Chain A
Amino acid sequence: MNNPNALLHRRDVVNELLRDRADLLVIAGLGAPNWDVSAAGDHPNNFPLWGAMGGASMIGLGLALAQPRRKVLVITGDGEMLMNVGSLATIAVEAPKNLTIAVLDNERFGETGMQKTPTASGVDLAAIATACGIRTSRIVRTMGEVTELRDLTHAGRGTAFAQIKINPEALVFVMPPADGVILTTRFRQSVLGDEALFN
């Protein structure tokens, strides 16, 4: 019935990763991953980026170290991850148990005209993560594997990395608030309580 070789749809993937999210903390990389996370439902525990390309994975690391009892999920794109691929070395060394990095890999720079990224020529981000020392690192091609990744994220038994091969489809933008102060303040208030409002 379903073509086993068909690429996954990005919003199906993100909806599944965020299913029954409980108190999961989510960082979304700029561009389509931001719109995908927002399409699954705006939430104070989301920190969607509108810029700072290359920063998503390291924001996830700082947050995971600061909140060791919470689970942190970074959802970003292949272009964003490639811009700061060295961060996989940094993160592998720190190895927070509560951090998962999910790369939605459409092999394209989607916001700028669907130009090919290096993953289109075979660059294997999951192998890079493995080589850095992130032992739970995989390429994901089926929704069953997406569900496994969702469960791994909630289990929080070690840093996890996934390169999820998705269809290079351009979807309607679903935008969260754009003001960084609003995004920061509501996230901190949700995670830390009203104390976060005072200096």
Chain B
Amino acid sequence: MAEAAKSRSEAVAALPTWPDEIYRVLKDAGIRQVAMVPDAGHSRLIRAFEADPETRVVTLTTEEEGVAMLAGAWLGGERGVLLLQSSGVGNCINMLSLPVICRMPLLMIVTMRGDWGEFNPWQIPMGQGTRPSLEAMGVIVNKVDEPHLVASTVQGAANLAFNTWRPVAVLIGQRVLGAKNFKELARK
């Protein structure tokens, strides 16, 4: 098991092409504002946006700030994306009223915890609650569990959000991200 987990995490570390692919997809979608609370799964994408003079990367104190910020961006004619971890979805719930009732686009890219291969039990409640919470608020949810489907899923979600003016979330599963092995970390 440990060997399998190790080779899997090495494989993921060696071949994370999907962050670069979704950077291109988001650029093509006209994204100018990136609102985020960082997650390890988003670190490569965040670095790409930070190196891009055309995008503004805004670090939030809590994810609901990003929902409001991107509503303001839309009012001013700019498109944005909210990058967050699944636990941060819980921080957004009431603020999602805003894009839902105003029929504004909101593109959320959520990296999952409390999902496939999770070690930390405290991640389970919100991880398992992520999809039902979003759907209860009226957000369209697409989950992706295969690396080669991430870019097309994000592209489809961006089209859906910005062409039909609705909040859409892409959940990137831990099958794609790799699950942290805390026991290995503790041994280091």
Interface SS of chain B: helix
User: Is A89 positioned at the interface, with any CB of B under 8 Å from its CB?
Assistant: yes
Per a CB cutoff under 8 Å, which of B60, B64, B75, B101 touches A66? B75
User: Is B67 positioned at the interface, with any CB of A under 8 Å from its CB?
Assistant: yes
CA–CA, A94 and B101, complex, Å: 28
Which residues of A come within 8 Å of B, CB atoms?
Answer: 25, 27, 47, 49, 51-67, 70, 84, 86-87, 89-90, 93-94, 180-181, 183-184, 187-188, 191-192, 196, 199
Answer whether A59 and B101 are a contact pair too, CB < 8 Å, given A66-B78, A89-B61, A196-B77.
no
Residues of B within 8 A of A66 (CB): 32-33, 72-73, 75-78
CA–CA, A63 and B162, complex, Å: 17
Residues of B within 8 A of A63 (CB): 72-73, 75-76
Against A, the Cβ 8 Å flags (1 = close, 0 = not) of B72-113 are 111111101000000000000011011001111000000000
Per a CB cutoff under 8 Å, which of A64, A67, A90 touches B65? A90
Interface contact A86-B65, CB-CB below 8 Å: yes
User: Is B165 positioned at the interface, with any CB of A under 8 Å from its CB?
Assistant: yes
Residues of A within 8 A of B80 (CB): 62
Closest 6 interchain pairs by CB? A62-B72, A66-B76, A86-B61, A180-B102, A55-B68, A58-B68
CA–CA, A55 and B65, complex, Å: 7
